[in-house]
Amino acid sequence: MPSRPALLLLALGLAACTDRQPDTIPAPTRTLAPEVVLPTADGPIDLATLAGRPVLLQFAQADDAEAWAALADAFDDLQAAGATVVAVTVDGKEDAAAEAFGYDGAPLAVIVDGEGAVRGRGAPDSGDALFALAGPVLAEADVAETVEWAGAETLDALVEAGGLVVDVSEAAPRIRYALRLAADTMAVEDLPADLGTPLAFVGPEAETAAERATRWGYAAVYVADADGALTPVGEATYVTPPRRSGGVRG
């Protein structure tokens, strides 16, 4: 079976093709998610505050080991692909937020897109099934953030467009607003969770670090020369699945 990042890359390609279809094709119907406050172990979370990026909601009872194991298995990949993951332990069938999403006592997973629309629901019994449920929305979000990216020719232009400069030199800081990292120890956890964030690397080891970032799935990666001019580095290939640490919200 293809890896999860590979499946996401395939979905990304399909979403990109769909994005280029003629304007005469009607937009799909969107059902907005209910306005709810989600009770979690970390405290109440207003779903509306998570707007702007995909959200994967998992509703299940505390003793449903299979449901929570599936979520734990998929969590790193879901987060690395740009999802906010919220776990809601339901006490019987009386939880109003869960009922608003159609929870009936069985485990329920729901994917909500960045605009607050419910895009999929089901009862996945594995991490792969959870990722498959969320994959099309995560790929679509990547398209939305990268298709309109026209690229940049200078560091200043990249920063103005919301990109990040990563300084992997060992000398004194060259750029005040750059993220400082060591090229030989740089990990995917050090970089933005959003794989659509444009990255520009500076320093003697910039090319090596930039190539690593493309293997982790970042879609707009550049190397900057001493004058701040940018050269794009390859394309995202998902050779190494991006993995990040962190606990499930809730």
C-alpha closest to that of 217 among 181, 183, 201, 193: 193
Coil vs helix vs strand at 102: coil
129, with CB counted inside 10 A (0-12, 13-18, 19+), is middle
pLDDT at residue 34 tops 90: yes
pLDDT at residue 243 tops 80: no
C-alpha closest to that of 78 among 20, 134, 10, 155: 134
Predicted local confidence at residue 94, as pLDDT: 66
The structural architecture, per CATH, of the domain 155-232 is: 3-Layer(aba) Sandwich (3.40)
Predicted local confidence at residue 173, as pLDDT: 56
Q: What is the mean pLDDT of the chain?
A: 77
pLDDT at residue 18 tops 80: no
pLDDT one-digit tens code per residue, 135-159: 888 876 654 454 446 677 888 888 8
Q: 4-146, what's its fold?
A: Glutaredoxin (3.40.30)
pLDDT at residue 206 tops 60: yes
Q: What residues does each domain of the chain span?
A: 4-146, 155-232
Beta-strand ranges (E) seen in 43-134 are 45-46, 55-60, 84-89, 108-112, 117-122
C-alpha closest to that of 167 among 158, 177, 179, 157: 179
CA distance 108 to 88: 10
Predicted local confidence at residue 19, as pLDDT: 44
* pTM for the model: 0.52
Taking residues 70-86, what's their average pLDDT? 88
β-sheet bridge partners, residue 122 = 109
The sheet with strand 221-224 has its strands ordered as 179-180, 164-167, 199-202, 221-224, 230-232
Predicted local confidence at residue 249, as pLDDT: 40
